[in-house]
Amino acid sequence: MTDKTPLVDMIRHLRTSLAHLKANGCTGFDCSPQGLETLAHLGVPLSAGPAGQETLETIRADLGDCTRCPLCRSRTHIVFGEGNPGARLVFVGEGPGFEEDQSGHPFVGAAGQLLTKIIAAMKLSREEVYIGNIVKCRPPGNRNPQPDEISRCLPFLKRQLAAIRPRVVCALGKVAAQTLLEVDTPISRLRGHFHEALGVPVMPTFHPAYLLRNPEKKRDVWSDVQQIMKMLG
């Protein structure tokens, strides 16, 4: 009997790639050099798990030593994200800072220490949640990531969320919230209630770095976090 496993795997990979392309607005095939370059920048999945479901490991392998945007020129490490691959709760920040760029781990500086305390107050640990960012390389001077940098990196975050399949996403700060929700509404108006993005409830709240400068806003964040805790049950 002929072994059909390679063919089945190829079909699964093709289906995953087509679904990813559709989610990113591609509606047809373009095999020109320019079209193929566009597909490469979108981070089209090259492999998946045995059931056609991507894993964080295969997504990281596809990302490789990324040079898709200019941020690669000044980074020390790619900060892919880390935590429980089956987490019910995912925190998404803006991008790595100095400490994160040096270590390769997300949220390890002063803002990260505050996030760790927030997670502990939720009766959770960093090992139980997943923490990532909109962009995976540090913008110079910790400036906001630019639209073209976000567009190159966001497909990989979307794939990470699809692989994790969390119950809730907490968007930390303006850039994360506006990017995930595809709006330009101020974070002060977005926070406080759930929105939906990529089929997942998203709770925007203030970034921990903002709380370090404005500690009076911690009460607002705790209110947002309590709503997340209630949804997680």
Give the pLDDT confidence of 83-140 residue by residue, as tens digits: 999 999 999 999 999 999 999 999 999 999 999 999 999 999 999 999 999 999 999 9
Q: How high is the mean pLDDT of the chain?
A: 87
Q: Give residue 53's pLDDT.
A: 76
Q: Is residue 28 part of a domain?
A: yes
Please provide the DSSP assignment of 88-147 as one string. SEEEEES---HHHHHHS-SS-SHHHHHHHHHHHHTT--TTTSEEEESSSSPPGGGPPPPH
Q: How far apart are CA 142 and CA 226, in angstroms?
A: 29
pLDDT band at 50 (very low <50, low <70, confident <90, very high): very low
Q: Is residue 214 part of a domain?
A: yes
| Host domain of residue 1 | 1-53
Q: Per-residue pLDDT for 22 more than 90?
A: no
Q: What is the DSSP letter of 50?
A: T
Question: Taking each helix axis from N to C terminus, what angle separates 56-63 and 147-164, rounded to the nearest 10 degrees?
Answer: 160
Q: How many domains does the chain have?
A: 2
**What is the model's pTM?**
0.80
Asked if residue 82 and residue 33 are part of one domain, the reply reads no
